């Protein structure tokens, strides 16, 4: 039997309205709406057309129903500027990534969640408390994605969701963070810390503009602890000093500048002048010479073990009734691609074990806690 919820999820995942899908398929909006409400069932011909236009296997629509991820369960920055179809596409991607996580959990024992709930806490104090609980002290975090995974947070990538920097939620007791991989490496680290802030501060209440500001304050304090910033930068540092110092915390120049103003190292006037100067140098809209994007160590290990058992991405996609490229879009592009004439293990992307500049390579990202996992036989 065709699943009404899967019809809705696939359409929203592709960023289509009912009207647009009707135009693509030649099926009336009224009929499509009835299918998604479960009031009517599409025949084999129509479900074939819908599947083709949405780019999903026909089998996908005959699986068990999948509950949607509620809009109220996540927080999007500047939600008034985010078109509903793009928001729903990101939520759809997140929900399907959760199905991939379920598939993985059935086969591997992953780190248990260890995310403190500090609702109503001051963001800076909350950041300090999480650092203390996780044994980080005030040292810079080498890799945010690895850190989140080590503490039981499932981290997946978002593709084709350019308007969404990221979002987080807790689903069936498991915390999730979804990150847009189209931003700079520095922005990706801040986004990961921002979403951790939401999980820590707002797990039991809906987010909004105030919550976004709190998550930003948490992220700044978590990535750039006050004591470490004060210990390593002089009063009133110049833009050149800031550009050199940002490498210590692997953050954007503007983010460090804002933090310096926040902790009192830069006066209001110097803060404004520094922002103007950094903007002239191209650091307002981008991060020239920035760091590589962080990737998932846990997912890399999962796919390495699966590959050893001759389980391919196509096998996973078939089990989940999804297109293979959809799977790769959730896992930071970690699914290996064979290179003719190249011997040895396939290399992963930067920041993963075995990759050039990876966590096990000299000069790699490395450091910090590493997520452990065990195969469930």
Contact of 77 with 212, CB cutoff 8 Å: yes
Is the pLDDT reported for residue 125 higher than 50?
A: yes
Question: What is the C-alpha to C-alpha distance for residues 350 and 347, in angstroms, rounded to an integer?
Answer: 9
Considering the chain, what percentage of its residues have pLDDT values greater than 90? 77
Question: What is the C-alpha to C-alpha distance for residues 76 and 256, in angstroms, rounded to an integer?
Answer: 23
The conformational region for residue 28 under phi > 0 = left, psi -120 to 50 = alpha, else beta, is: beta
Q: What angle do CA 262, 263, 264 make, to 5 degrees?
A: 95
Q: Partners of 81 in the beta sheet?
A: none
Phi, psi for 176 (deg, rounded to 5): -130, 145
Is the pLDDT reported for residue 374 higher than 90?
A: no
372 confidence band (pLDDT: 50, 70, 90): low
Q: Which of 94, 6, 113 is nearest to 50 (CA)?
A: 6
Q: What is the mean pLDDT of residues 216-236?
A: 97
pLDDT at 369: 54
Is the pLDDT reported for residue 368 higher than 50?
A: no
Q: What are the Cα distances from residue 324, in Å, to 5, 56, 203, 313?
A: 21, 10, 32, 6
SS3 169: strand
pLDDT at 362: 30
pLDDT at 83: 87
- Among 22-36, 137-151, 223-237, 352-366, the least confident range: 352-366
- Among 177-181, 277-281, 346-350, the least confident range: 346-350
Please return the burial class of 321, using the count of CB atoms within 10 Å of its CB with bins 0-12, 13-18 and 19+.
Answer: middle
Question: What is the C-alpha to C-alpha distance for residues 309 and 299, in angstroms, rounded to an integer?
Answer: 15
284 confidence band (pLDDT: 50, 70, 90): very high
Question: No. of H helices and E strands in the chain?
Answer: 16, 5
Strands (E), 218-279: none
Is the pLDDT reported for residue 82 higher than 50?
A: yes
pLDDT at 162: 76
354 confidence band (pLDDT: 50, 70, 90): very low
Helix 4-13, helix 84-105: angle, nearest 10: 120
Q: Which of 145, 147, 140, 148 is nearest to 174 (CA)?
A: 148
333 confidence band (pLDDT: 50, 70, 90): confident
- Tell me the HSE value of 140 on the side-chain side, using a 13 A CA sphere: 18
Is the pLDDT reported for residue 96 higher than 80?
A: yes
Q: What is the mean pLDDT of residues 309-327?
A: 95
Is the pLDDT reported for residue 204 higher than 50?
A: yes
- 């760091």: which residue's tokens? 291
pLDDT at 351: 46
Is the pLDDT reported for residue 316 higher than 60?
A: yes
Residue 332 tokens, joined: 């930071």
SS3 172: coil
Contact of 161 with 89, CB cutoff 8 Å: yes
Question: What is the C-alpha to C-alpha distance for residues 216 and 211, in angstroms, rounded to an integer?
Answer: 9
Q: pTM for the complete prediction? A: 0.88
pLDDT at 331: 94
Q: Which of 284, 215, 185 is nearest to 76 (CA)?
A: 215
- Among 82-91, 124-133, 192-201, 220-229, the least confident range: 82-91
Residue 16 tokens, joined: 């289509």
DSSP 8-class letter at 154: E
pLDDT at 103: 97
- How much is the mean pLDDT over the chain? 89
pLDDT at 336: 56
pLDDT at 90: 93
- Among 14-23, 76-85, 320-329, the least confident range: 76-85
Q: What is the mean pLDDT of residues 326-337?
A: 83
341 confidence band (pLDDT: 50, 70, 90): very low
Q: How far is CA 25 from the centre of its chain?
A: 32
SS3 117: coil
pLDDT at 290: 95
Q: What are the Cα distances from residue 57, in Å, to 93, 221, 320?
A: 16, 45, 10
DSSP 47-87: HHHHHHHHT--GGGGGS-------GGGS--SSGGGS-HHHH
């Amino acid at each position: 039997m065709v699943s009404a919820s899967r019809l809705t999820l696939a359409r929203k995942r592709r960023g289509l309205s009912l009207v647009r899908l009707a135009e693509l398929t030649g099926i009336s909006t009224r009929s499509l709406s009835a299918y998604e409400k479960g009031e009517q069932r599409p025949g084999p011909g129509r479900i074939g057309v819908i599947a083709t236009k949405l780019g999903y296997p026909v089998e996908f629509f005959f699986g068990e129903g999948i509950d949607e991820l509620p809009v109220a369960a996540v927080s999007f920055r500047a939600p008034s500027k985010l078109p509903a179809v793009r928001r729903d596409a990101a939520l759809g991607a997140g929900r399907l990534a959760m199905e991939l996580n379920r598939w993985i959990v059935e086969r591997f024992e992953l780190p248990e969640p260890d995310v403190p709930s500090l609702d109503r806490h001051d963001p800076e104090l909350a950041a300090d408390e999480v650092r203390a609980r996780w044994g980080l002290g005030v040292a810079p975090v080498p890799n945010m994605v690895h850190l989140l995974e080590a503490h039981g947070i499932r981290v997946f990538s978002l593709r084709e969701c350019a308007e969404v920097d990221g979002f987080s939620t807790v689903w069936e007791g498991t915390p999730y963070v979804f990150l847009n991989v189209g931003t700079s490496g520095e922005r990706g680290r801040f986004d990961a810390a921002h979403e951790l802030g939401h999980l820590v501060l707002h797990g039991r209440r809906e987010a909004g503009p105030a919550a976004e500001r709190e998550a930003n304050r948490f992220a700044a304090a978590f990535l750039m602890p006050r004591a470490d910033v004060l210990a390593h930068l002089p009063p009133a540092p110049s833009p050149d000093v800031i550009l050199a110092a940002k490498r210590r915390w692997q953050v954007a120049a503007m983010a460090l500048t804002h933090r310096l103003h926040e902790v009192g190292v830069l006066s209001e006037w110097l803060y404004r002048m520094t922002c103007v100067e950094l903007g002239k140098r191209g650091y307002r809209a981008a991060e020239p010479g920035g760091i590589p994007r962080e990737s998932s160590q846990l997912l890399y290990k999962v796919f390495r073990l699966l590959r050893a058992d001759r389980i391919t991405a196509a096998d996973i996609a078939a089990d989940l009734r999804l297109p293979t490229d959809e799977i790769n879009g959730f896992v930071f592009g970690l699914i290996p691609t064979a290179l003719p004439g190249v011997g040895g293990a396939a290399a992963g992307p930067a920041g993963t074990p075995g990759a050039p500049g990876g966590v096990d390579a000299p000069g790699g990202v490395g450091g910090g806690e590493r997520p452990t996992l065990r195969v469930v036989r």
